[in-house]
Structure 1
Amino acid sequence: MNATPTTFRKRLAVGAVTGLAVVGGIVGVSAYAAPTAVAEAEPVDAIAVAEVQEDGVRASNSLTHEAAMAVLDAAQEKAAELDQRVTVTIVDRDGNTVAMVKGDGAGPQSPDSAEAKAYTAVSWGQATSDLTNAAKGNGPSIADIPGTLFLAGGVPVVFDGAPIAGIGVGGAPSGDIDEEIALAGLAALEDLEG
């Protein structure tokens, strides 16, 4: 037997009140125990998918997994050679972290520092040590941009004349040491076979 819309609404209202009573911590028995009708689902229209033409698509370059691992390994090897405990971070062109290694004994601030340096380097396409003067001064400066850090230790990765990634190192007692470690990671990219 099919329920009429009015009957269905009554059953739904009674069921809702009973449900609220149970949720509220009151246990009760419904005064109306007739079987309830299950409403048939309305068919859902398919969502249209737009096929984008070439004019609406931009290709971007990024480091491969192999390249990112080579950077991390070379940088951590340099850190060990210098007896430093650091974090090395790689971000993509959009500033998203794609790889990070926190070395044994690296300080708790080092991941944030490394990520901010990598982000800053890829954002401006320059080493963070070259940007420190631009971040100084009285009044607003580029240092006011959230997520940036203008201490040495961040270097950009450039491909075909444009930055595609940033390498950041944090945790050494001096930005110059962080930068030396980051440059060792960058140099590893030159050794990769293409």
Structure 2
Amino acid sequence: MKHINLNAFSDVSKRTRVIAGSAAAILAAGTIGAVSASAAAPAAPAAGTVPASVRADAAPRDLVSTTHLDIDAATRAARAALDAAEREGQRVSVAVVDRNGNTLVTLRGDGAGPQSYESAEQKAFTAVSWNAPTSELVERLKSAPNLKDIPGTLFLAGGAPVAVKGAPVAGIGVAGAPSGDLDEKFARAGVTALSR
């Protein structure tokens, strides 16, 4: 450690010398503390190993398997829905979500309105959540109006579920056409593309 000779600063006030000396002491203490702390830290486990205290192997009976669309299938479905809309001159956005409602693919068609992007995702989320076309869910609102308060949902026609053996695996949502019936028609074209 380097020492500071405060006497060399004879023309400097005593107060300045005390402050300079205090700063040097604080700096030295910090350095010694940092060295001591790093010396006391436990060694990190070797790369690729997990300490036994945090590793747990779950029993197979405690696990659940789910089925999801892969990205290629989700893209194919989204493209089929967008193509169906474009053939009819409609400017829409298309979203495909997985079983958990996470967005896999979103396509915003040329000229689609800014609101259509989020609406398509919400319709897809709603369809997969209830495993039903959103046009049917609109009818359910008559008997359970609070359904519309669930975050992330949109109870307008235009969402269609993708199911395997009756269980939902994805949802396709379309928004931007002048009617929900058209949006849903295009969403169903996406579902149909997956069955080929």
The answer, yes or no, to whether TM exceeds 0.5 is: yes
Structure with the higher fraction of residues in helix conformation? 2
Note the C-alpha offset of 1:140. Answer: 4.3
Could you say if the C-alpha distance between residues 178 and 31 of structure 1 is closer, same or farther in structure 2, counting changes exceeding 3 Å? same
Contact 1:121-1:155 within 8 A present in 2 as well: yes
Corresponding residue for residue 156 of structure 2: 151
What letter matches 2:128 in structure 1? V
Structure 2 gap ranges (5+)? 2-18, 46-50
Report the 3-state secondary structure (helix = DSSP H, G, I; strand = E; otherwise coil) of the residue aligned with 2:163: strand
What letter matches 2:41 in structure 1? E
In 2, distance between residues paired with 1:101 and 1:109? Answer: 13
In 1, distance between residues paired with 2:80 and 2:171? Answer: 15
In 1, distance between residues paired with 2:159 and 2:142? Answer: 17
Asked if 1:181 corresponds to 2:186, the answer is yes
Report the 3-state secondary structure (helix = DSSP H, G, I; strand = E; otherwise coil) of the residue aligned with 2:194: helix
Identity of aligned residues (%): 49
CA root-mean-square deviation: 2.1
Match of 1:57 among 55, 63, 88: 63
Report the 3-state secondary structure (helix = DSSP H, G, I; strand = E; otherwise coil) of the residue aligned with 1:111: helix
Structure 1 gap ranges (5+)? 2-27
In 2, distance between residues paired with 1:150 and 1:164? Answer: 19
Instruction: Give runs of ≥4 in structure 1 deviating > 6 Å.
Output: none
Note the C-alpha offset of 1:42. Answer: 2.1
Report the 3-state secondary structure (helix = DSSP H, G, I; strand = E; otherwise coil) of the residue aligned with 2:40: coil
Note the C-alpha offset of 1:41. Answer: 3.4
Larger radius of gyration: 2
Asked if 1:106 corresponds to 2:112, the answer is yes
Report the 3-state secondary structure (helix = DSSP H, G, I; strand = E; otherwise coil) of the residue aligned with 2:54: coil
Note the C-alpha offset of 1:78. Answer: 0.5
Asked if 1:43 corresponds to 2:42, the answer is yes
In 1, distance between residues paired with 2:146 and 2:54? Answer: 46
Q: How many residues align?
A: 164
